[in-house]
Chains A and B, each alone.
Chain A
């Protein structure tokens, strides 16, 4: 973790220079991604939105429109990969996230498991940052953590994270790609499991352009049965641990901090340790006692059988103490960590030590065979989960001082692990191209599969599953009404229900017309225009209803008083400038054009500016239309007011005719 801040939002921050704009991003999570977390916390930070989500009235509307606008700019450039999104018991998070369901029109949400059952448990983020105008350098920011994309994960849990922000070279190279170890293979395997084999290629291409940070090595798991031979070239799961163990002779000791311990058999634990030259006797597990707050509500889970196995094998349990009122009797994770902090640790950390050499693995993988794999008789591994971790050298381990439990009976345990359920629908996907809604899914019992499509408050049944074979089924539902945007598909098979968002694959011109449902349709055009102006340095009305002339601070009407009389605008504060309103307005509009033109000229000569060029061309066209509308709006207050917007539109039109070809 390279951030010293212990607040819940520290993970959402970026190390990319402030001027950089996001070009693409991949986020992986186990849990159903929480739209409210994404829309209100993650996206405002990474998209550098200027509006706050918790505003009221017009401010709220501006926020929604700004977010929508930025998502449209990045349409299909943001990808979230999660496990299947079965509807669990209604939680608070799920119920109040619905307001932002529309974000999935532009964000590609994929689930794993098209070909076989799989659990996406990795928490890997990759963010592609465009160049700041000043230096032309792009960045790849990689975050490896234990955090799922839920508010509970951010606000209610302590997470471990590693972040690297790496300069991108203009062109890629195979050597640089090789430096990333197992990461490119992991991305390929993940993409394949989502049913979109090439979906993550752009992120692999970024790895070709970036040097892997010195000292960082990656350990990953992908579901499947991997032969011993295959593990030599792609050391998934526990096989990867051998690659990151400190080199040398002598036995390796391992210390583990993990909130979830799987149901290990004694032999399995031993084999797991042997994979990295370790032994169970040299295994340390940081654990909590029965009275620890994290033991309540089964936050930290250790099956009683696993405890017995560990004890019998010679592994040692180190006591992580907690006394909310006593700092001395509480083992803290961080200088800013306080005993009263009610967040529970979701971090998964592994310290591997050989002699004085130590390596710290920060990963999504709990200490379970689902994550690390079960060794088969031929030496291969059978893995259930996608996991991802990063290993760094000589990192600090805050639990060296912990003492062993005096009695293992004091350790918190559970009787048995929950079953993961039947998982009849293990994968699904839904898109709308403007004519059809296409739904695909993997269903073990497709004869009992039914589904419906949600638009607004109306449900439309999926009439039949006409496509596909075996457990993979698909339906194509005619859907041409642009006014009724399909938002969600709900699939049911027996007692299992699964909801998936519908991705919008319509042409850009059609997508532009759709706005978030919460936004006032009567104001949307004007607000969108103003947001667009603001994005290019223009000013915006704070409250549309209270400010009819829409451009705050500029009085549209010249005082008709004699020159002797004090100017009302000066004393009332309506205008805080002696500059001429018509000029102020015009310059404000033309400044927008200037800013747009400056961004364009900054791209000239850059090899990596195709995306930005497209964005600017799109914005240029939108700005032109917006200025033309502004002329009409301003003209209602007098023709002199409309001059500025008229000149801006006129100039933009000329500039667009000279827009540089790719």
Chain B
């Protein structure tokens, strides 16, 4: 370990971290409620990081720290607190944050801003001001500011000179030759301190993890980390004829040694290790969606397609690299498109492949007349409908756009439209909402946006939803306004309908893109999710090219508005998304149902998805009901196999510090996977104990 000069901070400057209660109170006043247990742990982490980076309270100053908490534990919060201390503790220090994309940049900006008011109140030793946050502004870092830029900025000609460089979602830097990886290697000398955030340290390739360790001065850990990484590699690629006990012991020993060495540089908490916080996160349960076994005719369709594409490929077609495309197992839309494309190509094939493929296409067309809706889609729609009817929101993840489009369209066809019939008239609602959301004295510059927002609240879908929560109220503005002020949204939770609407409006105001959408929506209200038609379903993916379905999808690349709405009680009850929304964002405030309609081959991705709902102050925690994760599996197809393997792998995710590998379902041997599970089971006890060593240390000085 290379000794580093102190950052020159004083432990007094983060004294506020010793009083989470006071901070929570200040935060609540500023409109953000926090949970004590989680805040305490986050503060402890922030304090530990500051002590290590600065060299305080008996810690030697070190070049960097890696924060590797499980998804949903609030790494962003911890890092934001550290950033504020470093940037606003005088001495003209600057902080740079590298975020993976625009969504995450906005998230960072929000997170940093959310601490301004409480810090101003609780941390008098700091000079916290909103304008210190410089999101999207690239270039020279002015003293005392916190600059938030995208990963790609690291590769620019600018150097990242700063006192603290925070690298978020560092596991995205996969491979030695990625531009990001190269850029970090080049930039490391310009940053005095580095804080790396990742939920999955051992999901990064060994080379990459070693490079990350180099960035934070963790060279002494390289050897034991390499040994554990190789033991993990051996678990997935080595001979499975060996004794599981011996391999399990070796794995556990290496893990212990790696954790011991890493504990100087890495802080990590696993949700499973934090029973006192479980209540705040919500209990996790499986949601069984019973998908019937694939019918022979469905299997035949897939097999015929597989065959036709294989032959086409052998005849020089570049139509599809994956003949047994995972999309064929979970929907028909992409399948039908593939048939159409194949048919166009057939004339240029030579005999006998041409005749064979033509025969397959004819047979496929005949069979498709017998198979209309995909069995899995139908089963999932039934379960989703029932859930929505019980007043819940549902989040569905797909891996491919075509699947997301088809699922969105099918769900929309199955769920009843919320068309505003039988409700008090729109004018009544307008009056009521105008009364409820009257602007405060100094907010008249937002009047136009507020009007648009109220227009949206009076759209058919939102009105129908809201009426369902206050059913029984008198159908005139005054009692309606009262009901909105008094009734809890969605019949539970911490907020009234009026408060929820207010919070949503504030969220819109905080987001540049949402404000832009709201401004534009003044003339085209349909730009706001929930105002375009009466379907409670929204697809956040590439929009379908079927004209009739156009209204079911958002048509811009800025999902902030959708995220804000889904995090409110209003708007679409069902959100179908792709993995673009699987990282970093919160979708937990009014949703506790998640369906993995289509899995990504990466267990990390699955864990990340689950993290969208299992967060502090989740809807599950508020309602006291469990978070439900559904892994519907289309029996008799590869989809079923994929789910079987995935479930096992994510079970051991935390245990192996994220060291679970991506897989190709067709390459996995059942006996090998059983052996691996046995090894992990044997190593479990020791691994659990080892993992705990990485928790943040309580300060020696209280």
Kindly list chain A residues whose C-beta atoms are within 8 Å of the C-beta of B351. Answer: 658
Decide if A558 touches B670 in the complex (CB within 8 Å): no
CA distance A104 to B113 in the complex (A): 94
Decide if B359 touches A654 in the complex (CB within 8 Å): yes
- Which of B351, B359, B644, B670 is packed against the most chain A CB atoms within 10 Å? B670
**Nearest CB in chain A to that of B651: its residue:** A564
Kindly list chain B residues whose C-beta atoms are within 8 Å of the C-beta of A563. Answer: 631, 633, 640, 643-644, 647
Decide if A658 touches B355 in the complex (CB within 8 Å): yes
Decide if A571 touches B670 in the complex (CB within 8 Å): yes
Q: Taking the complex as formed, is A59 at the interface, i.e. its CB lies under 8 A from any CB of chain B?
A: no
Kindly list chain B residues whose C-beta atoms are within 8 Å of the C-beta of A579. Answer: 638, 641, 665-666
Stretch of A306-314, A538-546, A640-648 with 4 or more beta carbons under 8 angstroms from chain B: A640-648
Q: How far is the CB of B616 from chain A (nearest CB, A)?
A: 27
Interface residues on A, range: 35 or more
Q: Taking the complex as formed, is A267 at the interface, i.e. its CB lies under 8 A from any CB of chain B?
A: no
Q: When each residue 3-35 of chain B gets 1 if its CB lies under 8 Å from chain A and 0 otherwise, what string results?
A: 000000000000000000000000000000000
Decide if A567 touches B670 in the complex (CB within 8 Å): yes
**Nearest CB in chain B to that of A652: its residue:** B356
Decide if B303 touches A582 in the complex (CB within 8 Å): yes
Q: When each residue 260-286 of chain B gets 1 if its CB lies under 8 Å from chain A and 0 otherwise, what string results?
A: 000000000000000000000000001
Kindly list chain A residues whose C-beta atoms are within 8 Å of the C-beta of B636. Answer: 558, 580, 582, 640
CA distance A651 to B669 in the complex (A): 30
Interface residues of A in 469-485 (CB under 8 A from B): none
Decide if A576 touches B670 in the complex (CB within 8 Å): yes
Decide if A650 touches B359 in the complex (CB within 8 Å): yes
Of the candidates A573, A583, A658, the one whose C-beta lies within 8 Å of that of B671 is A573
Given A583-B638, A586-B303, A640-B299: A576 and B671 interface contact (C-beta under 8 Å): yes
Interface size (B, Cβ < 8 Å)?
A: 41
Kindly list chain A residues whose C-beta atoms are within 8 Å of the C-beta of B643. Answer: 563
Q: How far is the CB of A557 from chain B (nearest CB, A)?
A: 10
Kindly list chain A residues whose C-beta atoms are within 8 Å of the C-beta of B670. Answer: 567, 569-571, 575-578
Decide if A578 touches B644 in the complex (CB within 8 Å): yes
Kindly list chain A residues whose C-beta atoms are within 8 Å of the C-beta of B300. Answer: 640, 643, 647
**Nearest CB in chain A to that of B311: its residue:** A651
Q: Taking the complex as formed, is B296 at the interface, i.e. its CB lies under 8 A from any CB of chain A?
A: yes
Decide if B674 touches A571 in the complex (CB within 8 Å): yes
Interface residues of B in 295-317 (CB under 8 A from A): 296, 299-300, 302-304, 306-307, 310
Q: Taking the complex as formed, is B293 at the interface, i.e. its CB lies under 8 A from any CB of chain A?
A: yes
CA distance A640 to B299 in the complex (A): 7
Q: Taking the complex as formed, is B673 at the interface, i.e. its CB lies under 8 A from any CB of chain A?
A: yes
CB-based A-B contact count at 8 angstroms: 100
CA distance A587 to B274 in the complex (A): 48
Q: How far is the CB of B191 from chain A (nearest CB, A)?
A: 45
Q: Taking the complex as formed, is B338 at the interface, i.e. its CB lies under 8 A from any CB of chain A?
A: no
Given A570-B670, A580-B637: A564 and B355 interface contact (C-beta under 8 Å): no
Q: When each residue 620-652 of chain A gets 1 if its CB lies under 8 Å from chain B and 0 otherwise, what string results?
A: 000000000000000000111001100100110
CA distance A620 to B637 in the complex (A): 30
Q: Taking the complex as formed, is B58 at the interface, i.e. its CB lies under 8 A from any CB of chain A?
A: no
Decide if A558 touches B640 in the complex (CB within 8 Å): yes
CA distance A419 to B644 in the complex (A): 81
Interface residues of B in 647-702 (CB under 8 A from A): 647, 665-666, 668-671, 673-674, 677
Q: Taking the complex as formed, is A420 at the interface, i.e. its CB lies under 8 A from any CB of chain B?
A: no
CA distance A567 to B665 in the complex (A): 14
Q: When each residue 160-203 of chain B gets 1 if its CB lies under 8 Å from chain A and 0 otherwise, what string results?
A: 00000000000000000000000000000000000000000000
Given A578-B668, A640-B299: A590 and B307 interface contact (C-beta under 8 Å): yes
Q: How far is the CB of A163 from chain B (nearest CB, A)?
A: 40
CA distance A567 to B644 in the complex (A): 8
Q: When each residue 483-514 of chain B gets 1 if its CB lies under 8 Å from chain A and 0 otherwise, what string results?
A: 00000000000000000000000000000000
Q: Taking the complex as formed, is B245 at the interface, i.e. its CB lies under 8 A from any CB of chain A?
A: no
Interface residues of B in 597-654 (CB under 8 A from A): 631, 633, 635-638, 640-641, 643-645, 647
**Nearest CB in chain A to that of B314: its residue:** A594
Kindly list chain A residues whose C-beta atoms are within 8 Å of the C-beta of B356. Answer: 651, 654-655
Q: When each residue 149-176 of chain A gets 1 if its CB lies under 8 Å from chain B and 0 otherwise, what string results?
A: 0000000000000000000000000000
Q: How far is the CB of B174 from chain A (nearest CB, A)?
A: 25
Kindly list chain B residues whose C-beta atoms are within 8 Å of the C-beta of A571. Answer: 670-671, 674
Of the candidates B352, B638, B640, the one whose C-beta lies within 8 Å of that of A658 is B352
Q: Taking the complex as formed, is A407 at the interface, i.e. its CB lies under 8 A from any CB of chain B?
A: no
Of the candidates A562, A566, A640, the one whose C-beta lies within 8 Å of that of B296 is A640
Q: When each residue 583-598 of chain A gets 1 if its CB lies under 8 Å from chain B and 0 otherwise, what string results?
A: 1001100100000010
Q: Taking the complex as formed, is A249 at the interface, i.e. its CB lies under 8 A from any CB of chain B?
A: no
Kindly list chain A residues whose C-beta atoms are within 8 Å of the C-beta of B665. Answer: 578-579
Given A563-B633, A640-B636, A643-B296: A583 and B303 interface contact (C-beta under 8 Å): yes
Kindly list chain A residues whose C-beta atoms are within 8 Å of the C-beta of B294. Answer: 640
CA distance A560 to B290 in the complex (A): 11
Kindly list chain A residues whose C-beta atoms are within 8 Å of the C-beta of B644. Answer: 563, 567, 578
Q: Taking the complex as formed, is A657 at the interface, i.e. its CB lies under 8 A from any CB of chain B?
A: yes
Of the candidates A580, A587, A590, A597, the one whose C-beta lies within 8 Å of that of B641 is A580
CA distance A252 to B271 in the complex (A): 99
CA distance A577 to B635 in the complex (A): 15
CA distance A657 to B666 in the complex (A): 34
Q: How far is the CB of A577 from chain B (nearest CB, A)?
A: 6
Q: How far is the CB of B633 from chain A (nearest CB, A)?
A: 5
Kindly list chain B residues whose C-beta atoms are within 8 Å of the C-beta of A577. Answer: 668-670
**Nearest CB in chain B to that of A573: its residue:** B671
Given A558-B640, A654-B355: A583 and B324 interface contact (C-beta under 8 Å): yes
Decide if B671 touches A643 in the complex (CB within 8 Å): no
Kindly list chain B residues whose C-beta atoms are within 8 Å of the C-beta of A573. Answer: 671
Kindly list chain B residues whose C-beta atoms are within 8 Å of the C-beta of A650. Answer: 359, 363
Q: How far is the CB of A504 from chain B (nearest CB, A)?
A: 34
Of the candidates A558, A575, A647, the one whose C-beta lies within 8 Å of that of B304 is A647
Kindly list chain A residues whose C-beta atoms are within 8 Å of the C-beta of B355. Answer: 654, 657-658
Q: How far is the CB of B315 from chain A (nearest CB, A)?
A: 12
CA distance A580 to B665 in the complex (A): 10
Kindly list chain B residues whose C-beta atoms are within 8 Å of the C-beta of A562. Answer: 288
**Nearest CB in chain B to that of A635: its residue:** B296
Given A640-B636, A658-B355: A570 and B299 interface contact (C-beta under 8 Å): no
Decide if A582 touches B293 in the complex (CB within 8 Å): no
CA distance A432 to B286 in the complex (A): 73
Decide if B673 touches A582 in the complex (CB within 8 Å): no
Q: How far is the CB of A654 from chain B (nearest CB, A)?
A: 5
Kindly list chain B residues whose C-beta atoms are within 8 Å of the C-beta of A582. Answer: 299, 303, 636
CA distance A578 to B355 in the complex (A): 33
CA distance A639 to B645 in the complex (A): 27
CA distance A597 to B314 in the complex (A): 12
CA distance A90 to B136 in the complex (A): 102
Q: How far is the CB of B664 from chain A (nearest CB, A)?
A: 10
Decide if A643 touches B299 in the complex (CB within 8 Å): yes
CA distance A586 to B323 in the complex (A): 14
CA distance A625 to B638 in the complex (A): 30
Decide if B303 touches A564 in the complex (CB within 8 Å): no
CA distance A578 to B668 in the complex (A): 6
Kindly list chain B residues whose C-beta atoms are within 8 Å of the C-beta of A558. Answer: 293, 635-636, 640
Kindly list chain B residues whose C-beta atoms are within 8 Å of the C-beta of A567. Answer: 644, 670
List 13 A–B pairs whose Cβ atoms lie within 8 Å, in order of A's numbering.
Answer: A570-B673, A577-B670, A578-B645, A579-B641, A579-B665, A579-B666, A580-B636, A583-B324, A583-B638, A587-B306, A640-B294, A643-B299, A657-B352
A586-B307, A655-B352 known, 12 other contacts, Cβ within 8 Å? A563-B633, A563-B644, A564-B647, A570-B670, A570-B673, A571-B670, A578-B669, A579-B638, A590-B310, A597-B352, A644-B303, A647-B300
Chain B positions within 8 Å of A, measured between CB atoms, are 286, 288, 293-294, 296, 299-300, 302-304, 306-307, 310, 324, 351-352, 355-356, 359, 363, 631, 633, 635-638, 640-641, 643-645, 647, 665-666, 668-671, 673-674, 677
Chain A positions within 8 Å of B, measured between CB atoms, are 558, 560, 562-564, 566-567, 569-571, 573, 575-580, 582-583, 586-587, 590, 597, 638-640, 643-644, 647, 650-651, 654-655, 657-658
